[in-house]
Structure 1
Amino acid sequence: MRTTPLLAAAALAVTALLPGHATAAGPPRLAGCGAGQLCLWAKADFKGARQTHELAGLDVDSCVPLPTGTAAESLANRTGRPVTTYQSQECAETGEFETYPGSGTWLPQSPYRVRAFKVWER
Structure 2
Amino acid sequence: MLGFGVFKVTDKAECKQAVLNAIRTGYRLIDTAAVYDNEDAVGEAARSHRRRSVYPRGAVYYLQTVGPGHGQHRDGESRDCRVIKKIGPEYFDLYLLHQAMGDYFSARRALEEAYEAGKRSASPIFTPMC
Tell me the TM-score normalized by structure 1.
0.27
Tell me the TM-score normalized by structure 2.
0.26
Q: By percentage of residues, which structure has more helix?
A: 2
